[in-house]
Amino acid sequence: MTEYTTVSIPKELGDRVEETIEGTSFSSTSDLVRFLLRSIVIQHQRRGELTEAEFEEIADQLADLGYLD
């Protein structure tokens, strides 16, 4: 059985995520967060490390999508 942990985000961000995922294959905020975190972790594992530039690029992309302020 898979164990889970809770990640808290501001309600305003959660509302924005809910609006963003409408009409997509993501059924919940949790689904999207898992997808994004897995993507980052997989990229890190494939290359052995994320450079500062790569991390900044990911952060910029998430900010452009409204997930980071």
Confirm whether 50 is domain-assigned: yes
* Domain count within the chain: 1
5, 30 Cβ separation under 8 angstroms? no
Average pLDDT for runs of 10 along the chain of length 69: 83 89 91 84 73 80 72
Confirm whether 3 is domain-assigned: no
Contacts of 32 (CB under 8 A, 6+ apart): 17, 20, 21, 26
Confirm whether 52 is domain-assigned: yes
pTM over 0.75: no
Confirm whether 7 is domain-assigned: no
The number of residues in the chain equals 69
Instruction: Quote the distance between the C-alpha of residue 38 and its chain's center.
Output: 8
Report pLDDT for 25.
92
Report pLDDT for 6.
82
Confirm whether 2 is domain-assigned: no
Report pLDDT for 68.
66
Range of the domain at 58: 27-68
Report pLDDT for 7.
78
